[in-house]
Amino acid sequence: ATQQQQSAIKGAKVLMVGAGGIGCELLKTLALSGFEDIHIIDMDTIEVSNLNRQFLFRRSHVGQSKAKVARDAVLRFRPNINIRSYHANVKNPEFDVDFFKQFDVVLNGLDNLDARRHVNRLCLAADVPLVESGTTGFLGQVTVHIKGKTECYECQTKPAPKTYPVCTITSTPTKFVHCIVWAKDLLFAKLFGDKNQDNDLNVRSNNSASSSKETEDVFERSEDEDIEQYGRKIYDHVFGSNIEAALSNEETWKNRRRPRPIYSKDVLPESLTQQNGSTQNCSVTDGDLMVSAMPSLGLKNPQELWGLTQNSLVFIEALKLFFAKRKKEIGHLTFDKDDQLAVEFVTAAANIRAESFGIPLHSLFEAKGIAGNIVHAVATTNAIIAGLIVIEAIKVLKKDVDKFRMTYCLEHPSKKLLLMPIEPYEPNPACYVCSETPLVLEINTRKSKLRDLVDKIVKTKLGMNLPLIMHGNSLLYEVGDDLDDIMVANYNANLEKYLSELPSPILNGSILTVEDLQQELSCKINVKHRFFSEILNPVLNSVWFLIILPSTFPKLFHFTESRNQDGLSLDIILGFSNVTIRRVLTMFETGRRLTHPLLILFCHREEFDEEKEPEGMVLSGWTPSPATNGESASTSNNENPVDVTESSSGSEPASKKRRLSETEASNHKKETENVESEDDDIMEVENPMMVSKKKIRVE
C-alpha cells in the first residue's frame, strides 16, 4: 500500500492556491511528503506581520512575491522537485478551466470567500478534486470537494460577516462586544461619521415617534457651543435619557436586568475647565493618529481597567480633542483601530454603556482587540491543517472515496480529541452551483435597472467574475475583452434601463440565464415581479382579518387568478403570505370544498423593507438552508424575518407575527394534513450564554 501511495504522490501534479499562513506550511509538508510537481498561485507580497508564522519568509523578503519566495525557500531543501510559482490573482482569466484540468488535485489555503467560490467553480467545471481549508485562531477545518461525490464548497452557505441583530446592539446588550459595536458603529459613526447615514443610535421606545424629532438635534453642535457642554449633552443623551426612554418600555425588561441611566453630573465634577489648559498643550504631535486623551488625564497603561469616572473623563476629553484638533475630519471619519483617539473614545463609550447594563468593563487594550476584530493567528493551527490537507490529498490521489473525511479543529477537546473527523456530505441537490436548481429573484422590474441586477445580484451574491446575462435568445449583458465597441455601447445602454424596458423586457415569470464563461457556471433565475400598489399600501401594511365564506371561495380564486395574468403575483392582491396561499391553492386543486367559513389573519408587507432588504431585491435559492421548512422559507420571502434577540420577550412579537400570517381557522388546519403541531418539540433547558436563566419555550 505504501508503494502505491508513493507512486501516487510522485506522479501527482498539484495546485496550491495561496501561499500564506496555511500555504507555507502546506508547501513544506507537500515537499517533505514526496510531492514532486507543485504549482503555487498567490497574488500577495510578504509583509512584516507575516513573518511570525509564515516560516518560509525572512525579513529580507518583505515586499517580494509570496509564491516565489516560498518556492525558493522549499527548493533549497528539496532541490530536485518541480515547483512553479505564479504571482497573480487566481481569478485572472489565464487560470481557466483548461489550466485547472492539468492538475490531479487542487489545495486551497485562501483567506477570503470570494476566491474560494471561484476556485470551487473552476474545480467543478474542470472536474478536479478540491481540498479546502481555513483557519482562524485555534480553529480550522479541512474539507474535500469532489464533483458528484461530495458536496461542493457552496452547497452549504458560508456565513459572510455583515451586520448584527440591531435590537441587541441598540437596546439590549448582554456582552461587552455589543457595547463596542454600539460605540463604534453607532455612536462614533453618528458623531464623527457621515451625518446623512441612517443610524439606529436612538433607542426605539414606544413613544419614539413623538421624540424622534427632538433627538435628531441633540447631535447637532451649534457654532458657538462650548465643546464640553456639547460633550456633556451627548453624554447625558446617550447614557442617560436614551436609557431612560428604553426603560419605559416595560415589556423589554421583564426577563432582563434593567440598565441604569448615567448622567454626567453624577460622575463628573461640575466643571472640567481646569483641564482645558492641559488640552491645549498636550499632544503637540503633528500626526492625527497620535492625538490622545490619555496623557492629559494621567492615564498611561492601556491594559489598565478604568473606572466609570475615568471612562467618563476620557469620553469628554476625547470628544473635545476631536473637535479641537481634528475638526476637519469630522463628518467623514470611520473607525480605525490604529487611530488612538478613536479607540479611546470607543473604549470609554463602550465601558460607560457596559457599566450601565451591568456588563464587566474592559481595558483599552482589550477593547481595541475587540473593536479591530483582531484574532491572533496561530502557526500551530496552520501546521495541523496543512498536515490534514496533505492526508486528504493523498486519499484523493489514491481514490479512497470511502476514507475522505472533513475535519474540524476544536479549541477544547471533545471525547478527548482536538480534531473531529466527519464523513463528507452528499452534494446538496438544491445547490445552484453544482446542481441545476433555478434561483428565484423577487424584484420590482419597473424600478430596478439592469445595473442593479448585475452589481447587486450577479456579481455580489452569485460571485461571478465575467458575467453574461441572457433572456430567452437575446443577450442583455456581457463582459469580456473580445467585444466590439458597438456591443459594449449596447450593453452599457442596457445597464441603465429598467428591467421591464429592456429590448427583451424582463417581467414577472421571465427566466434569465446567467453565465460566467470563465467559471463555466451557468444558472437560471426565475424572476418574480414584486409590485407595490400605493392604493393598497395602507391595507397591506397593517394586520387584517379576512373571512372567506364557502360560497365565495371559488370566486375569490378566480379573481386572484385573473389578476395574476396582469403581471401581479397572486399573493400581493390579497396580502396573503405565501404559505397561506399555497394551502388555499392546494385545497382548491384537490377539489376540497370549504365547509366552514375560513378566517385568515394576515399581516403583510410587500414593499422591500429598506432595513432588511436594502438592495430592493430578494434572491432566494442561492443560500439553500437544509433545515428550513415551508414556513421559514416563506419568512425570508415576504415577512419580517424573525427578529432575533437573546431573550424570550424580545422574540415574542416576532413569533406572534409569524403566527398571524399563518394562522387559519382551526377547521382549515384539520383539512390540511401536512400541518404539524408545532408546540413543545424542543425546549432549551439551560443557556449559560443568556442573562436570564429562565426556561424558555421555543415556538
Partner 1 sequence: MSNPQDDKPIDQEQEAHVILKVKSQDGDEVLFKNKKSAPLKKLMYVYCDRRGLKLDAFAFIFNGARIGGLETPDELDMEDGDVIDACRAMSGGLRANQRQWSYMLFDHNGL
By annotation, the residues acting in catalysis are 167
Among 55, 81, 87, 164, binds partner 1 (CB under 8 A): 164
Smallest gap from Cβ 253 to partner 1, in A, equals: 16
Nearer of residues 401 and 547 to partner 1, judged by Cβ:
401
Q: Does 513 bind partner 1 (CB under 8 A)?
A: no
**Member of 11, 137, 148, 653 binding partner 1 (CB under 8 A):** 137
Tell me which of 261, 302, 358, 372 binds partner 1, using CB under 8 A. Answer: 372
Pairing type for strands 406-414 and 139-145 reads: antiparallel
- What string of H, E and C letters represents the secondary structure of 589-645? HCCCCCCCCEEEEEECCCCCCCCCCCCCEEEECCCCCCCCCHHHHHHHHHCCCCCCC
The binder of partner 1 chosen from 135, 312, 444, 510 (CB under 8 A): 135
Stretch that binds partner 1, among 193-201, 297-305, 544-552, 633-641 (CB under 8 A): 633-641
Burial class (CB in 10 A: 0-12, 13-18, 19+), 145: buried
- Between 375 and 547, name the residue whose CB sits nearer to partner 1: 375
| CB closer to partner 1 out of 132 and 452 | 132
Q: Which of 48, 290, 375, 488 binds partner 1 (CB under 8 A)?
A: 375
Q: How far is the CB of 407 from partner 1 (least distance, A)?
A: 10
The Cα-based distances of 422 to 143, 194, 395, 425 in angstroms read 9, 47, 15, 9
Determine how β-strand 37-41 pairs with β-strand 82-86.
parallel
Annotate 430-499 with DSSP letters as a single string. Answer: T-TTTS-PPEEEEE-TTT-BHHHIIIIIIIIIS--SSEEEEETTEEEEE--SS--HHHHHHHHHHHTSBG
CA distance 444 to 555: 28
Window 515-574: residues binding partner 1 (CB under 8 A): none
CB of 669 to partner 1, least distance (A): 17
> CB of residue 516 vs partner 1: minimum separation in angstroms?
22
Please identify, among the stretches 82-90, 128-136, 502-510, 568-576, the one whose residues bind partner 1 according to the rule CB under 8 A: 128-136
Q: Which range, of 65-73, 155-163, 274-282, 496-504, touches partner 1 by CB under 8 A?
A: 155-163
At residue 132, what are phi and psi to the nearest 5 degrees?
A: -105, 150
Q: Is 547 exposed, middle or buried (0-12, 13-18, 19+ CB in 10 A)?
A: exposed
**Nearest approach, Cβ of residue 631 and partner 1 (Å):** 11
Which segment (15-23, 79-87, 92-100, 429-437) binds partner 1 by CB under 8 A?
A: 15-23
**Is there a contact between 106 and 14 (Cβ–Cβ < 8 Å)?**
yes
Q: Of the listed pieces 75-83, 241-249, 372-380, 512-520, which binds partner 1 according to CB under 8 A? A: 372-380
Backbone angles phi, psi at 242, to 5 degrees: -65, -40
Please give, one letter per residue, the 3-state secondary structure of 271-311.
Answer: CCHHHHHHHHHCCCCCCHHHCCCCHHHCCCCCCCCCCHHHH
CB of 558 to partner 1, least distance (A): 35
The answer to the question of residue 692 lying near partner 1 (CB under 8 A) is no
373 or 474, CB closer to partner 1? 373
| Contact with partner 1 (CB under 8 A) among 81, 113, 289, 475 | 113
What part of residues 35-54 is at the interface with partner 1 (CB under 8 A)?
49
Angle at 178 between CA 176 and CA 184, to 5 degrees: 105
Q: What is the DSSP string of 491-504?
A: HHHHHTSBGGGSSS
Residue 17: all three cell numbers together: 492556491
Please identify, among the stretches 85-93, 276-284, 508-516, 675-683, the one whose residues bind partner 1 according to the rule CB under 8 A.
675-683
Residues in 569-628 that interact with partner 1 by CB under 8 A: 612-613, 623, 625-628
Least distance from partner 1 to the Cβ atom of residue 594, Å: 29
Is 631:662 a contact under the CB 8 Å cutoff?
yes
Nearer to partner 1, 374 or 511 (CB): 374
Q: In 3D, which of 319, 287, 311, 315 has the Cα closest to residue 363?
A: 311
- Give the nearest distance from C-beta 108 to partner 1 in angstroms: 10
Beta bridge partners of 132: 143
Check if the beta carbon of residue 176 is closer than 8 Å to that of residue 362: yes
User: Which part of the chain contacts partner 1 (CB under 8 A), choosing from 175-183, 222-230, 274-282, 575-583?
Assistant: 175-183
- Report the nearest approach of partner 1 to the CB of residue 678 (Å): 9
HSE (side-chain half, CA atoms, 13 Å) at 304: 11
Residues 636-655 close enough to bind partner 1 by CB under 8 A: 636, 641-644, 646, 648
Q: Residue from 373, 460, 522, 667 that binds partner 1 (CB under 8 A)?
A: 373
Distance CA 9, CA 400 (A): 14
CB of 331 to partner 1, least distance (A): 22
Residue ranges in 381-440 that form contacts with partner 1 under rule CB under 8 A: 408-412, 414-415, 420-423, 425
Nearest residue to 598 via CA among 609, 611, 587, 612: 587
DSSP-derived secondary structure for 401-429:
GGG--EEEEEEEEETTEEEEEEPPPPPPT
In the chain, how long is the greatest CA-to-CA distance?
87
How many chain residues bind partner 1 (CB under 8 A)? Answer: 88
Residue 298, by phi and psi: left (phi above 0), alpha (psi -120 to 50) or beta?
Answer: left
Q: Which of residues 300-359 bind partner 1 (CB under 8 A)?
A: 337
Restricting to residues 17-36, name those near partner 1 by CB under 8 A: 20-22
Residue 303 Cβ vs partner 1, minimum distance, rounded to whole Å: 19
Question: Which residue, 441 or 476, is less far from partner 1 as judged by CB?
Answer: 441
Q: Which residue of 632, 663, 672, 692 would you call a contact of partner 1, by CB under 8 A? A: 632
Q: Are strands 439-443 and 617-620 parallel, antiparallel or unpaired?
A: antiparallel
**Positions in 228-247 near partner 1 (CB under 8 A):** none
In the bound state with partner 1, the residue whose beta carbon lies nearer, of 275 and 334, is: 334
The span from the CA of 442 to the CA of 608, in Å, is 10
The piece of 16-24, 256-264, 325-333, 527-535 that touches partner 1 (CB under 8 A) is 16-24
Least Cα distance to 494 among 444, 439, 452, 440 occurs for 452
